[in-house]
Structure 1
Amino acid sequence: MSGSGFFASPLYKKIMAKVYGIGASVAILGALWKILHLPGASTMLIAGLGTEAIIFFLSAFEPPHEMPDWSLVFPELVGLEPRYNVGGGGGGGSELAALIQSGSIDASTVEQLGQGLKKLSDTASGLSQLNDASLATQAYLETMKSAAKSVGDLSTVQANLGQSAEVLAGSYQSTAKIVAESGAKFSEELTKTGSGFIETIKSTGENLVKSYQAIGESMSQQVNKIASDGQKYTEGLAEANQKLASLNSAYELQLSSINAQVSSSQELAHSLTEISKHLNQSVADTQLYKQEVANLSKTLSELNTIYGNMLSAMSGGGK
């Protein structure tokens, strides 16, 4: 049956051929975008399915496919067209038998026709298998969608894990920086403390030196005064000189002890691991220093007493 109008024209057929190809491309791209979860996947899927719907809508206006008149090519097929009886009798087989009996169709032609029908049946079976293959392909596509979604979820988890690792590394770096700064501050404070201790020792030593100098000057004055009184006090002067020498020796020993304490304090500032030992040693040296100062004060008091007695004796003898 031949169609009529625009939908049966060759132009419409050419347009529909382009529409089929381009529309199928858009539909495939929409499915691809959705499967891979690319940006704008929903929009692409809507565009693809919308294009597919338009194609099906336009294909509804196409005229049915024309069946060619094979009797023009094969004259022996004339009279084989199916006829429909309202009365319900099956006259097709009887007409074919009548044609064979009349000699219009020989047995070989009928055999060829049977083979053609068999091939047509095989082709229909193949089309059914193709439909099954299409269903299998659809199931495969669904599986690929699920796999792509799983891969996307895995990528998200890996990204979150990477961010957590970066945050943890930043926390470690911050902690290490704080510890390093605390250690530096502690070392600086310790150095300042050691320096202050050294300055204190130096100041104490200087005061002690000044005291020794004052005592020496006083002793010199006393000795000069005693020497001016006469030869009688030579022995006392020698004894005083001996004590003064002993006092100077003690002073030198004290200076050596102070220098040792200063060196120990400097080593304490450079060696954090031995700070406790050096501090204890410094405390012990300080106690020893106090004890020596006390002994020296006691000795000086005794010496002053002796000199006082000597002066008293000298004063009494002069009278």
Structure 2
Amino acid sequence: TFGDKVATISNVADASTATNEFTSKVKTASAGFDNLSASFEKATANLKAMGESNVDSQAYHDQVNNLAKNLSALNAVYELELQDSSAHLKSMNKFYSNLSLTMQNFNESMEDSKQFKEEVNKLAKNLASLNSIYGNMLSAMNGPRV
């Protein structure tokens, strides 16, 4: 019947509208998929860059570790040098202390030496006086014998 045909045409028109809507939605989904694909590409590029920066970070970390080891070794050498310098300084202080003591002893021995010289001079004078006295005594004893 005519009503059925009109209803069928109406259904076909509705199907056409539904198809158009479906097509529109497929196009929208396709555009969304394209955007999603572009986002995934960007994410992949960012992850790749992050992976490369991780390699750079590891290299930097290794260099910092090497620097720390070198500084530690340098610090140990510096500590040894400092201890050696301290020991050398103590040794020099002891040497100067001993040298000062030696100079003091030398000055005291010079005083003793002066006194010894004076005493030897007195002894020589006294001995000369005694020799003169004994010489006179001998001369008197050996005087002319009659």
TM over 0.5: yes
Aligned to 1:285: 112
**How many angstroms does 1:158 deviate by?**
2.1
Aligned to 1:302: 129
CA distance in 2, matches of 1:272, 1:283: 16
The one-letter amino acid of 1:128's match is A
Aligned to 1:140: 50
Aligned to 1:126: 36
Aligned to 2:4: none
| TM-score for both structures, normalised by structure 1 | 0.35
SS in 2 for 1:104: helix
Aligned to 1:112: 21
User: Runs ≥4 in structure 1, deviation > 2 angstroms?
Assistant: 100-105, 171-184, 270-278, 310-316
The one-letter amino acid of 1:286's match is S
CA distance in 2, matches of 1:105, 1:144: 60
CA distance in 1, matches of 2:35, 2:98: 96
Structure 1, unaligned runs of 5 or more: 1-99, 188-269
Aligned to 1:60: none
The one-letter amino acid of 1:130's match is F
Structure 2, unaligned runs of 5 or more: 1-7
Aligned to 2:3: none
> Alpha-carbon deviations, 1:109-157, whole Å to 9, x = none?
1343022431332133122212112112211221221122112112112
Return the structure number with greater helix share: 2
**How many angstroms does 1:168 deviate by?**
2.9
**How many angstroms does 1:181 deviate by?**
5.2
Question: Taking every aligned residue pair, what percent have the same amino acid on both sides?
Answer: 24
| TM-score for both structures, normalised by structure 2 | 0.68
**How many angstroms does 1:286 deviate by?**
0.3
CA distance in 1, matches of 2:122, 2:80: 62
Query: 305-314 vs 292-301, which deviates more?
Result: 305-314
> Alpha-carbon deviations, 1:27-66, whole Å to 9, x = none?
xxxxxxxxxxxxxxxxxxxxxxxxxxxxxxxxxxxxxxxx
Question: RMSD across aligned C-alpha pairs, in angstroms?
Answer: 3.5
1:136–1:101 distance in 2 versus 1, CA, 3 Å: farther
CA distance in 1, matches of 2:61, 2:124: 91
The one-letter amino acid of 1:293's match is V
CA distance in 2, matches of 1:290, 1:177: 44
> Alpha-carbon deviations, 1:62-105, whole Å to 9, x = none?
xxxxxxxxxxxxxxxxxxxxxxxxxxxxxxxxxxxxxx967335
The number of equivalent residue pairs is: 137
The one-letter amino acid of 1:298's match is K
Of the three residues 64, 74, 83, the one matched with 1:164 is: 74
SS in 2 for 1:294: helix
**How many angstroms does 1:283 deviate by?**
1.8
Between the two structures, name the one with larger relative contact order (CA 8 Å, sep ≥ 6). 1
CA distance in 1, matches of 2:45, 2:34: 17
